[in-house]
Amino acid sequence: MNPEVYGEWCRRQGLSVIRTNSAHWYSEGFGVYQAFPFDRQIEPDEEELAQLFFHHKAAVLRFSSSPECGLGSVGYHVVYQRDTYDLQDLSAWARKNVRRGLKNCIIERIPFERFLAEGWSIRRDTLDRQGREAEKSETAWLRKYSSAADLPGFEVWGALVRGELGAFLMTVRMSDCVYMIHQQCKRLFMRDHVNNALAFVVTQAAVGDPEIRSVCYGIQSLDAGASVDDFKFRMGYLKKQVRQRVLIHPFVSPAVNRVTHGFVKGLRRLMPGNRIVSKAEGLFRISLADADVGQL
């Protein structure tokens, strides 16, 4: 699958999608555009940035650049790029839990129909366990994921515990990379270590495909703590260093400063479960890091 198919999924959700020389970009709102494929390191030139800001009316651009570019904030992608993947590639903790998980559940690809029928309840359970607010209604969630059902490159894997769907993991392939894009687990089955078994089997299947170069388990979060990716690292994934970049429209950037960042940080403390506020704080933080380096 090429990035155009992922872009089609975004369009079906009603999201804005832009194609430029270095990447594709999509926005979930507020003029904030994320570059994809997500593991790609890019360095848009001034002409491309002007096209995005002034022609397409982007307010914020988020992307990754190479570590050598010297701009932005030091960050990472969570990736696996070796030729083989087995239990010996995991930490001792993960090996033990994968073995337990494989005894307690069956891991297999599941039809989109089953995912759509049972996935929302797992999503709601996960958000409640994490103390986060649901960013979508069930209707919106179903519309988002049903729109991928007939597109090539999308798969959903499930962890079945005594026939019940205890966890799911959606993946999408773009070119020679498999992206883990949506994983959730019912709290009832966490003690059965179904997440470990699920991540292990899906990664092993991807690595075993001779056309796959790497597996990407995400990019460093804007708002989560450092421990959020510990599970992935125990599962054998590594940090691939990049420079996180957030560029603000030239007409808006003067309003992004230490004072306004402090105000947004205060809002985040008052509303710790609000996704929009927490993401905004991360965007402010990385944008200021980019500006600080640019002024050196």
> What residue numbers bound the domain in which 191 lies?
82-212
Q: Taking 70 as the threshold, does the pLDDT of residue 266 lie above it? A: yes
Q: Work out the average pLDDT over 196-204.
A: 98
In this structure, is residue 219 part of a structural domain?
Answer: no
In this structure, is residue 218 part of a structural domain?
Answer: no
pLDDT of amino acid 296: 33
Q: Work out the average pLDDT over 128-155.
A: 87
Q: In which band, very low, low, confident or very high, does the pLDDT at 70 lie, cut at 50, 70 and 90?
A: confident
pLDDT of amino acid 56: 96
User: Rounded to the nearest 5°, which phi and psi values hold at 111?
Assistant: -65, 150
Q: Taking 60 as the threshold, does the pLDDT of residue 29 lie above it? A: yes
Residues 73 and 171 in one domain: no
* Domain count of the fold of the chain: 2
* Whole-angstrom distance, CA of residue 205 vs CA of residue 200: 9
In this structure, is residue 192 part of a structural domain?
Answer: yes
Q: What is the number of residues in the chain?
A: 296
Q: In which band, very low, low, confident or very high, does the pLDDT at 295 lie, cut at 50, 70 and 90?
A: very low
Residues 86 and 99 in one domain: yes
Cβ pair 27, 224 in contact under 8 A = no
Residues 103 and 144 in one domain: yes
Which regions of 196-276 does DSSP assign to beta strands (E)?
A: 214-219, 238-248
Quick one: DSSP state of residue 55? I
Of the candidate ranges 47-51, 104-108, 130-134, the one whose mean pLDDT is the lowest: 130-134
Residues 14 and 53 in one domain: yes
Which stretch of DSSP H or E encloses residue 211?
Answer: none
pLDDT tens sequence across 146-172: 999 999 999 999 999 999 999 999 999
Q: Work out the average pLDDT over 93-112.
A: 97
pLDDT of amino acid 291: 66
In this structure, is residue 235 part of a structural domain?
Answer: no
Rg (CA), the chain: 20
In this structure, is residue 233 part of a structural domain?
Answer: no
- The token pair that represents 206 in the structure block: 């991807």
Residues 120 and 179 in one domain: yes
Residues 181 and 116 in one domain: yes
Kindly report the pTM of this predicted structure. 0.89
In this structure, is residue 229 part of a structural domain?
Answer: no
In this structure, is residue 55 part of a structural domain?
Answer: yes
Q: In which band, very low, low, confident or very high, does the pLDDT at 292 lie, cut at 50, 70 and 90?
A: low
Q: Return the CATH number at 143.
A: 3.40.630.30
